[in-house]
Structure 1
């Protein structure tokens, strides 16, 4: 595949399907965009025509749905050819299935998030892999900076919901990994930044509250630590009717606070964070089985 025909697919926070810099999706109808987005999500895998019609035209009779699929494929193929006639190789069709070509020449934000989260989860597996590669944290941070937003936010088909939740969980796995790495390196500003981003999405995440409290304790900002604890206490009581965990309250023990702030990787909260990653892995497996 020629270098100038590289395919870039964006599925997080919106939808782009760029071949040689031209966004093919921009000129398509919403219906055609949904089909192309589905195929781009399954990039490199053959998808049966029957599966496509059931996912994208569930309310039409089978024959009408198949005609709609064929018409939509024709329009997509025409748009690709109009952008670059050599790019037509990206859409592969047969009598029974359809595929968007995959390979090293394809860059997908979803594929990158899935690959990185798999590497992170492997570190906390029952039989963990070797220590994290030295470049893993920078790669994760770069991916978080480049890719944000939910999976195909303007698509409301049934097939998109479990995928959206699965990718939200994978994104959270990456965020938590960056926080854990920053805490171990005593990089309090970075830990605070990413823990705050986690709380912005999930205010009930008590572990993230703990991380922010530890950052404040480690930098001697007791007032900020107390304010974070009060926020945690209030939101848990208001939304769930529960009090903070004993470990959260214990952060203010004058004997425990310095030790827990300076050695977060040895605190009980870190073990709970790893347990959460294990739970995320199990949930991802269940979600993938349903897709």
Structure 2
């Protein structure tokens, strides 16, 4: 069985034996077809995306040449020329028996949308082992890479919410760590990790996660953690969530900096109240 891997360094293999392919346009051609999620893709669309600087006729000829070269390559390994891609005058699709991680990634996400559940999301995120064709740098590949990355983030986010609602701390840690590695500014993902570390008794890890979150928010966005994040931290440490506790745990603003966010406003409010009490005590 032919199998194509497009996440990370691309590979083409037949029953586990790798087939060398140096034509970079062929990899992009396979990726465009695979991105259709199992549906045929118009030849005119593929030609325009792979050769945007050519007129339509020249782009179509270049596409036909690339298809011919790809067919000849796989036929040298005792595979039918159409064993990977099937084409006619208008459409190109992946051959039914060929495997492809990008196509399966998109199909798994589609299945999840129509009731496939978290198992389909798990399959999708497992398939995304690395960025799509990371060494390719042209407009279609760059756009598809970002599109796939956004789909991965969305799938991880849904899985994190699912496991949090199921109070599954270990899976929250597994998914949450991967999510914040990709999107480090998602405060709710840090918050879930803090909660999950607390649930497994790893208070030191919860403290480190809160520290990383607070540092990122402050250094990159000029923000403080939300009250919900500070509360999750307090719960992970087992110290309660009273206002005085939250105030003590919330990171203090830098000297001379204007406080930002709800916790900062809480700090100002409590500090103001304390100042008023001190004045009354001196009266």
- Normalised to the residue count of structure 1, the TM-score between the two structures is 0.69
Shift of the 92–119 alpha-carbon distance from structure 1 to 2, 3 Å rule, reads closer
Counterpart secondary structure, 1:27:
coil
Structure 1: segments with no counterpart, 5+ residues: 1-5, 123-128, 258-291
Structure 1 residue 228 corresponds to structure 2 residue 209: yes
Shift of the 72–43 alpha-carbon distance from structure 1 to 2, 3 Å rule, reads farther
Shift of the 45–176 alpha-carbon distance from structure 1 to 2, 3 Å rule, reads closer
State how far apart, in whole Å, the 1-side matches of 2:56 and 2:81 are.
30
Q: CA RMSD of the aligned region, Å?
A: 3.0
Structure 1 residue 34 corresponds to structure 2 residue 28: yes
Counterpart secondary structure, 2:213:
helix
Shift of the 43–51 alpha-carbon distance from structure 1 to 2, 3 Å rule, reads same
Residue-by-residue CA offset, 1:171-211 (whole Å, 9 max, x unaligned):
22332344334434444333223211111111111011101
Structure 1 residue 66 corresponds to structure 2 residue 47: no
* Pairs within 5 Å for 1:59-138: 59-95=53-89, 97-103=90-96, 105-121=97-113, 136-137=118-119
Shift of the 223–30 alpha-carbon distance from structure 1 to 2, 3 Å rule, reads closer
* Structure with greater Cα Rg: 2
Q: Does the aligned pair in 1 maintain the 2:82–2:95 contact within 8 Å?
A: no
Q: Does the aligned pair in 2 maintain the 1:116–1:174 contact within 8 Å?
A: no
Paired residues in the alignment total: 238
Shift of 1:85: 4.1
Counterpart secondary structure, 1:243:
coil
Q: Does the aligned pair in 2 maintain the 1:19–1:87 contact within 8 Å?
A: no
Shift of 1:224: 3.2
- Normalised to the residue count of structure 2, the TM-score between the two structures is 0.70
Match of 1:165 in 2: 146
State how far apart, in whole Å, the 1-side matches of 2:36 and 2:144 are.
11
Shift of the 34–228 alpha-carbon distance from structure 1 to 2, 3 Å rule, reads closer
State how far apart, in whole Å, the 1-side matches of 2:178 and 2:18 are.
30
- The structure, 1 or 2, with the larger RCO (C-alpha pairs under 8 Å, 6+ apart) is 1
Shift of 1:232: 1.1
Structure 1 residue 48 corresponds to structure 2 residue 42: yes
Structure 2: segments with no counterpart, 5+ residues: 243-283
Residue-by-residue CA offset, 1:229-288 (whole Å, 9 max, x unaligned):
22211111111111212211222264459xxxxxxxxxxxxxxxxxxxxxxxxxxxxxxx
Match of 1:191 in 2: 172
Q: Does the aligned pair in 1 maintain the 2:156–2:175 contact within 8 Å?
A: yes
Shift of 1:162: 2.9
State how far apart, in whole Å, the 2-side matches of 1:228 and 1:85 are.
51
Counterpart secondary structure, 1:99:
strand
Shift of 1:121: 4.6
Q: Does the aligned pair in 2 maintain the 1:182–1:190 contact within 8 Å?
A: yes
Counterpart secondary structure, 2:86:
strand
